[in-house]
Amino acid sequence: MSGKSVAIIYTGGTFGMRPSEKGYAPARDLDALIRERLPELSAESMPAYELIEYDDPLESSNATPHHWYHLAEQIAGAADRFDGFVVIHGTDTLAYTASALSFLLGGSRKPVILTGSQIPLCEVRNDAAGNLIGAVQAIATGKIKEVGVCFGRHVLRGNRTTKVNATELDAFASPNFPPLAEIGTELRFNGTNGLPSDSGIFGELPPPYHACNSAVLRIFPGIPERFIDAIVDTGAVGIVLRCYGVGTGPTADPQFLAALERASTAGVIIVAVSQCPEGSVSLRRYAAGSALADAGVLSGFDMTTEAAFTKLHALFALGLDRSAVAALMQQDLRGELTTS
């Protein structure tokens, strides 16, 4: 044994699914399946593990902020007992959960690695076995001190991760940040990816906050301003605005601009991220971006949509006022953005 002990939390996802009449569906008793299909997990060279299974494993497209919070509580509550946590999760919203945990778990340096698979462990040929072994081994090295995602050939920073492929086995990428480690014949760590020093913004765990008061809106040609008004009318406190390129939008439409201004004057935090998977928002680069900034839109720099959305959620959970949330959205708190 490596001398480490790892908790494996099975939340659901394809990893443990079984075929049903309607297609793959979440299934219980991963323990039995692991014993049958993955005895290597108990090999001498592996850390000791404890498997914690959800009673009702989740299809991750049903995950809500409540699930992020429950998971964060579970991890924080057991942190003293384990050297690290592996979370088995469906791939569809895995990047949201990984991003959310990176904020909710605050300054913790305990490794939390999310993984899953594109093919269930019950199938003869699958990617589940390798992904789980990789995640557990990554923790055993002691070199990961944050929330990460182990999938395919990489270990990625959790809040930089996005699902980029619906069918291939390398389903995740971290387009604006190098992998924490490459998984080849050995685990090769990139030692230069340190986290910023703890801002202290997030303490042990923010108070319970299950509201879903933010929205994501992707700008498209001809977008009517009433879409913005409709979001504001729901009582939303934040909008992640997926802009074109470095942060532009239809600013020749005075009604669109007026709707943004109305929203930000009403106190809604509007954060621009790019529709492009790579690169960063730079609102003052084009007049069309400056107009957005003048209407109150903030730069989300190179954050993924998932990071921006869950960061808004976590900051509002702290009960911070609008100006504090606005300022913090533009700062690097957990390695989620690069300002330069």
Q: Does 161 bind ligand ASP (CB under 6 A)?
A: no
Phi, psi of 285 (to 5 degrees): -70, -35
CB under 6 A: which stretch of 86-94, 192-200, 282-290, 318-326 binds ligand ASP? 86-94
CB under 6 A: which stretch of 87-95, 240-248, 273-281, 286-294 binds ligand ASP? 87-95
CB 17, min distance to ligand ASP, A: 7
Q: Does 123 bind ligand ASP (CB under 6 A)?
A: no
Nearer to ligand ASP, 157 or 163 (CB): 163
Q: Does 118 bind ligand ASP (CB under 6 A)?
A: yes
| Closest residue to bound ligand ASP by CB | 90
Window 8-47: residues binding ligand ASP (CB under 6 A) = 12-14
Q: Applying CB under 6 A, what is the total number of residues that bind ligand ASP?
A: 11
Nearest to 204 by CA among 318, 52, 53: 318
Q: Does 59 bind ligand ASP (CB under 6 A)?
A: yes
- Active-site annotation holds for 14: yes
CB 145, min distance to ligand ASP, A: 26
Selected catalytic residue, list 14, 251, 304, 310: 14
The set of catalytic residues is 14
Residues found near ligand ASP in the complex (CB under 6 A):
12-14, 59-61, 90-92, 116, 118
